[in-house]
Amino acid sequence: MNHVTVRLPGLIAAVLLSGVHQTARAQDAYFGSNATIDYAVNGDTYVGYASQSDRDNGINPTSPTVSLVSGGSLGGLLIAQNSSTVDMSGGEIGDILEAADSSHVNMSGGRIVGFLLAANTSVVDISSGSVRGNLAAWNSGTINFFGTGLSDTLLNANYFGFSEYTLSGRLRDGTIIDSKNLYIQNTGAQFTLNNSAVPEPGSIALFVGLAGTVLLVRKRQFVPVAK
């Protein structure tokens, strides 16, 4: 595979190399229609094309919904393309998960061994699960976090054209994201921190029967920073 999976600036290299042609392997999987992955895929996984030929030539794009659930294991990366949707509630991705084009990734469980990336106009929602690597959004990509006590600290406003943050708090399933690094390209990419309000013990009864969750939302959006 022609991508870099080391720490920054390797992450920036991965961003720059995203979308380039990967060397195809017989065990790579292509999903052009709706599917549930609850089994092992040894190679890379591409969502939004039915075949390598279609993807290489940019023809016959599709926008399926593919679910990665418990028991599913991807040995390589996963790239969601076109307007496809990836719902990850379990399983493991052995490398990068990249949302490209106008795709939508919902992560509510499972484990990503590599980076989590949002490119173009894609949207990534992460409420549970774990990401071993760092996270990045570029172009006009968006990453939305859902949990409790979520906060951010700006470390560098122009790191190779990205704003560098460190995150803290917990996702909805209690996963701690303290010291997790997030990189937002200064081109219109953005991220939001959506904190679920935690009621005082004596006030819990007030919430019984109420539909929905009170959210405290913080949003970050950026414009280019002059060097």
Asked if residue 95 lies in contact with residue 114, where contact means CB atoms within 8 angstroms, the answer is yes
CA–CA dist 26, 158 (Å, integer): 41
CA 32 to chain centroid, in Å, comes to 20
CA–CA dist 159, 182 (Å, integer): 11
- Domain residues of the chain, as ranges? 10-221
Q: Which residues pair with 219 in a beta bridge?
A: 192
Nearest CA-CA partner of 74 in 84, 63, 62, 88: 88
Q: What is the pLDDT along the chain (227 residues), one digit of tens a residue?
A: 333 333 345 555 555 444 444 555 558 999 999 999 999 999 999 999 999 999 999 999 999 999 999 999 999 999 999 999 999 999 999 999 999 999 999 999 999 999 999 999 999 999 999 999 999 999 999 999 999 999 999 999 999 999 999 999 999 999 999 989 999 999 999 999 999 976 554 443 433 444 444 444 445 554 333 43
pTM of the model: 0.81
Q: What single letter denotes the amino acid at residue 178? A: D
CA–CA dist 128, 89 (Å, integer): 8
List phi, psi (to 5°) of 218. -120, 135
Q: Is 32 left (phi over 0), alpha (psi -120 to 50) or beta?
A: alpha
